[in-house]
Amino acid sequence: MFDLKIRNALIVDGSGNPAYSGDVGINAGRISAIGPKLPGDAHSTIDAGGKAVAPGFIDPHTHFDAQLLWDGQARPALTHGITTIVPGNCSLSLAPLKAKHRMKLVGMFNQIEEMPHIAFEQGVEWNWETFDEYLKRISQNLAINVAPLVGHSLLRLWVMEDAAMQRTASESEITQMMDLLRQALDAGAVGLSTSFVDMDETLQPVPSRYADIHELESLCSVLGDYGRVLQIVPEFYDGDLTVARVDQLADLSRKYNIPTTFSPLFVNSDNSDAVDKVMARVNEQFATGARVWPQVQTRPIDISFSFAVPSLLFIRFPGWYQIMRFETHDGIVAAFSDPARREALIAEAARLAPLWPRLILRQVNSAENQPLVGKTLAEIAEIRNSTPVDVMIDLSLEENLDAHFLAADMGHNDNVKVASLLNADNVHIGASDGGAHILSFSTYGDTGYLFSNFVRDQQAMSLETAVRKLTLETAEIWGIPERGLLQEGYVADIAIFDPNTIARGAEYYVQDVPGDGSRYVRDSIGVDTVIVGGEVAWSASDGYTSAARGAILPGAEQRA
């Protein structure tokens, strides 16, 4: 007798081997049998109807750190077949964190990941300091697995306080950081994240950027004791600097026998040669025994924004940045309404001229402007006998800053080039950024886009390879035990989806962030059922369930 039986399945087991028809039997949260037409009854049965049954997908680059405090389901990750997420990337985690540094961290999350202050104010009860305390806090009612990174910037801030943002560390301070990292790894951290590019809320380098190579090596020596991962954000905008970081990661990987990964590796129209150079060096370093995994996302970037909240689209323009970051709602309206300030803003935005034919008005509240929804700013400018940037400002004023704009498919949309990268042996599919940029960048739907675009439409990758990339390969890179494969004895984390229809769903706007905040969300198309720890966590027919079988991975007991 099985607790749960999945019958009539197209089993794509995560190994990359050919799919086959069969059943999956589950007992006590684990796969107890798998194969063609399993005999025996079950307390509960799911008829897959020929749909694909695969291991739950693993998302290795997210920022769900705060959302997990009020949403143990990490919505909408489960709807995309994701059963394990990795938060804490880019040198930022929510622990270890002293009470006096909370607002500093909120500022960094707001600047780097565009997470609104109101979400922290209304949704976060600050009742932890250590990494262990934070993990115990998010473990309450957890419906998705979490493999958390600890942020290098947090280690520095805890040990060095204000000096973390001023200088390199002393030997004593490095020793304290090493001890702090051990505590996080003992608690269940999957590794350490650091950044070489990010800026804090005052536009100064984040604490991790003040570390020297001796500090990083010392921390990697601790990772080596545990066999855990180092994740970095390199100077992705410069191919030569990224190659240098690949070499540095390779040295650390070989010296301390650790896996390393960097993100993002992103193809733009002007950096194809640079990406080729980076990949050539990655392959050279793998040949020496190093493990340096570039993370490549599957989808183009969509940028959705309104001027009611900050947007990274305008961060490079000082005038725009000033009003978006430091003005109130009324201050922004005043700046847009003042002729002199408006003229200066328009002059700065001239560099965005190539964007206007692609920037669409996607949402308004007034009936008067509804006929303009779906048109580009260039088209609206022609109708109004104006200019695109004037139209953008005018519409924002007319809608009390609640006019929403969309720039779709911003780079990373060369299907041939991206498919070549995704198929590469030494490329890791990741960098979804789920949980971050919830008010501007559309960060969900990587899995659906992989299957719909590269497997089904382009036929550039087999179904079995795509599943392996999202499951077993990711589990092995990150050292996540007993997951990523449909195999007897493994934990029953399972995604059931239709290969013929799975896709990245349409983006829509919801107000479900604490404090009446808003965000852009994409639910999936074609994902039928998602099982975590042997229990249905979400289904297309019934939505989210009350099951809470998520776990902290790799777990405090999983030491090298």
Tens digit of pLDDT per residue, the chain (560 long)? Answer: 999 999 999 999 999 999 999 999 999 999 999 999 999 999 999 999 999 999 999 999 999 999 999 999 998 899 999 999 999 999 999 999 999 999 999 988 877 776 777 778 888 999 999 999 999 999 998 999 999 999 999 999 999 999 999 999 999 999 999 999 999 999 999 999 999 999 888 879 999 999 999 999 999 999 999 999 999 999 988 999 999 999 999 999 999 999 999 998 988 777 889 999 999 999 999 999 999 999 999 988 777 778 877 666 777 788 888 888 778 889 999 999 999 999 999 999 888 888 888 888 988 999 999 999 989 999 999 999 999 999 999 999 999 998 988 877 667 878 899 999 999 999 999 867 776 655 444 456 689 999 999 999 999 999 999 999 999 999 999 999 999 999 999 999 999 999 999 998 776 555 555 654 555 566 789 999 999 999 999 999 999 999 889 999 986 554 44
Q: What letter represents residue 558's amino acid?
A: Q
Q: Quick check: 138 and 535 in contact, CB under 8 A?
A: no
Residue 127 and residue 259 in one domain: yes
Residue 64 and residue 156 in one domain: yes
Taking CA 109 as the corner, what is the angle to CA 158 and CA 553, rounded to the nearest 5 degrees? Answer: 70
pTM for this entry: 0.89
Q: Is 542 exposed, middle or buried (0-12, 13-18, 19+ CB in 10 A)?
A: exposed
Question: Is 366 within a domain?
Answer: yes
Q: Quick check: 470 and 461 in contact, CB under 8 A?
A: no
Question: Is 52 within a domain?
Answer: no
Domain span at residue 78 reads 57-300+411-450+464-523
Q: Is 368 exposed, middle or buried (0-12, 13-18, 19+ CB in 10 A)?
A: exposed
Q: How many domains does the chain have?
A: 2
Residue 228 and residue 99 in one domain: yes
Residue 248 and residue 350 in one domain: no
For residues 63 and 85, give the distance between their C-alpha atoms in angstroms, rounded to a whole number.
Answer: 9
Residue 294 and residue 324 in one domain: no
For residues 86 and 434, give the distance between their C-alpha atoms in angstroms, rounded to a whole number.
Answer: 10
Host H or E run for residue 509: strand 503-513
Question: Is 82 within a domain?
Answer: yes
| Nearest one of 85, 76, 4, 70 to 43, comparing CA atoms | 4
Q: Quick check: 29 and 38 in contact, CB under 8 A?
A: no
Residue 197 and residue 343 in one domain: no
Question: Is 49 within a domain?
Answer: no
Residue 141 and residue 272 in one domain: yes
Residue 301, beta-bridge partner list = 410
Q: Quick check: 512 and 71 in contact, CB under 8 A?
A: no
Confidence at residue 440, expressed as pLDDT on a 0 to 100 scale:
43
Residue 127 and residue 268 in one domain: yes
Question: Is 73 within a domain?
Answer: yes
Token readout for 64 is 């769900």
Question: Is 333 within a domain?
Answer: yes
Measured in Å, how far apart are the chain's first and last C-alpha atoms?
36
Which residues are CB-neighbours of 130 under 8 A, at least 6 positions away? 95, 96, 183, 187
Residue 416 and residue 390 in one domain: no
Confidence at residue 511, expressed as pLDDT on a 0 to 100 scale:
53
Residue 134 and residue 279 in one domain: yes
Residue 261 and residue 319 in one domain: no
Residue 349 and residue 395 in one domain: yes
Per-position b or e across 250-273, b if 16+ CB within 10 A of its CB: bbbbeebebbbbbbbbbbeeebee
Angle between helices 318-326 and 329-337 (to 10 degrees): 150
Give the CATH number of the domain where residue 188 resides: 3.20.20.140
Total residues found in the chain within this entry: 560
Question: Is 16 within a domain?
Answer: no
Question: Is 550 within a domain?
Answer: no
| Nearest one of 218, 222, 240, 242 to 232, comparing CA atoms | 242
